[in-house]
A and B are shown apart, each in its own frame.
Chain A
Amino acid sequence: MQKEILIAGFGGQGVLFAGQVLAYAAMDTGHEVTWIPSYGPEMRGGTANCTVVIADEEIGSPLVQYPPAVVALNLPSFDKYEALVQPGGVLVVNQSMVDRKAQRDDITVLYIPGNEMAEACGNRRLLNMVMTGALLAAFPVMSLDEAKTALKAHLPAKHQKLIPNNFAAMDKGYETAKEQLGRNQ
């Protein structure tokens, strides 16, 4: 088994941390995993992305050209990665920051109003957890509970008070994605 996830957006949207939550969960459930960020000069105020590879054996490349799952938190990421999602793959779009529909019809596309949902959960910075929940509904590389357990286990003590809101955001994203998937079928 090997699965790859690419998460992309603006710096500050929590792209790198969302990937780390998945990486921690993969490690804690006994898998091999790599997490690699874009660290170029563009991340200073520009776009950021990270790739997470989860596997059962020693991982070769930490990067893939055509990931089976992409989370796009802004329009530049949507523009860049829509064409690169593996056929049959999943593209989770932050609808709050994107004003167009996907052109591909050979992939599953979910439109999640992430900014509004995060604010409804109490903080717009919960966007990344909303989108992580949505991703796991469409791309069950791990259960939502496994991701939650990892978040709780690896969040520093001083941030533990944020856990209930983060869990609520993940649940909201997951439920919204499930509903959309149900409608699409």
Chain B
Amino acid sequence: MPRELLKGNVAMAEAAIRAGLEAYFGYPITPQTEILEHFSKRLPELGRAFVQAESEVAAINMIYGAACTGARVMGSSSSPGVSLMMEGLSYIAGTEIPTVLINVMRGGPGLGNIAPSQGDYFQAVYGGGHGDYPRIVLAPSTVQEAIDLTVLSFDLAEKYRTVVILIADGSIGQMMEPAELPEMRPVNRVDWPWATNGAIGRERRILSSIYIDPNEEEITNLRLFERWKEIQKNEVRYKEYYCDDADFVVVGFGTAGRVALSSVRAARQQGIKVGLLRPVSLSPFPYQVLDELSKRVQAFLVVEMNMGQMLNDVLMATKGRVPVEFHGRPGGVVPFPDEILAEIQRVATTKLSVAPDPRHAWYDRMLAMTK
């Protein structure tokens, strides 16, 4: 397919359609409304289902029902709307059915604002709905990656009977870049052995997240973990830039990761041997590559558009071997390359020590910077 200039939100929606999406349920919210808008036009003209629900709570439960039939279905929203969907998402996870959810994150907590943010890392990777359930979380940093990961999400959701959450941010959703869409795949509804798609002539199938007997629920939790082990083994994704000879490594995902790429290149021009690790799968997280890097680099710098969430995973992966510094812009602020460059210069020229919580020193620097 030729390269087209595509807006991130539109690109993700069209990619889902070409991956065989049969039904979408959603509710408008900035900065992801173009996803819903694109579906509202395209899905009816293809004879597929588009429903603008009365709320996000209704939308996620419609997704739950539709996903039980084995059809490819998805939802999308932005941070406050995704919070509303979390109860339903837990039911979906507990029922072990494949579902794709896109969160185009915005500044929070609360109603917050509509600017790009990465404040929902914890919600996507660790929290969200109640109960113990693993989920796959993917984070694109370009429009092309947003397309590719959307398509991949459906395959992974079905392969592991799991929830796949794609977290983008307002910047990825709103920006345009040249990108290539996949070929239109025909809708291929699989008669999964679990799908409740009409029991005429066969045994009834029951899909539910209710296990009144705690022993059965325990077995269910263990079964989910069994699948999670496979996911951990097979689905770790990340991208490395200039890491081969790096003394220092910046770690950032999504928009923060790509902004850091500009800073890393500028630092390289100044002779600083710095690389960038950009996790693409946030769950499963690339612990092993960070573990390996921590044996040969002098320090890490974690850059996020939040108060330091992925930071916890980097600290866990690097086991206190070397200092891990943090630079975050919460609340909907997008860092400029220059400020990350200044942080790289600081990390490369200062004697650092391993701190139990790098946020404390960062907070002091933030106060000085914003005064």
Interface residues of A (CB under 8 A from B): 20, 23-24, 27, 32-37, 39-41, 58-66, 154
Contact = CB atoms under 8 A, between A and B. Distances in A.
B174 interface: yes
Contact of A41 (B3, B114, B177): B114
Closest A-B pairs by Cβ, 5 of them = A60-B262, A60-B261, A36-B175, A61-B259, A35-B176
Contacts of A59: 177, 258
Interface stretch (B87-95, B209-217, B227-235, B334-342): B334-342
B336 A64 contact: yes
A65 B336 contact: yes
Contacts of A33: 5, 177-178
22 contacts: A23-B176, A27-B3, A32-B178, A33-B177, A35-B175, A35-B176, A39-B30, A39-B170, A39-B174, A58-B261, A59-B177, A60-B259, A60-B260, A60-B337, A61-B258, A61-B259, A61-B263, A62-B258, A63-B336, A64-B337, A65-B336, A154-B5
B329 to A, nearest CB: 12
B115 interface: yes
B161 interface: no
Interface in B162-182: 170-171, 174-178
B31 interface: yes
Nearest to B259: A61
B265 interface: yes
Contacts, number: 67
Interface of B: 3, 5, 30-31, 113-115, 142, 170-171, 174-178, 258-265, 334, 336-338
A58 B260 CA distance: 13
Contact of B177 (A34, A37, A39, A40): A34
A40 B170 CA distance: 10
Nearest to A62: B175
A33 B177 CA distance: 6
A10 B274 CA distance: 41
Given A34-B175, A35-B176, A39-B174, A61 B5 contact: no
B336 A23 contact: no
Contact of B5 (A23, A36, A60, A65): A23
Contacts of A64: 336-337
A63 B305 CA distance: 15
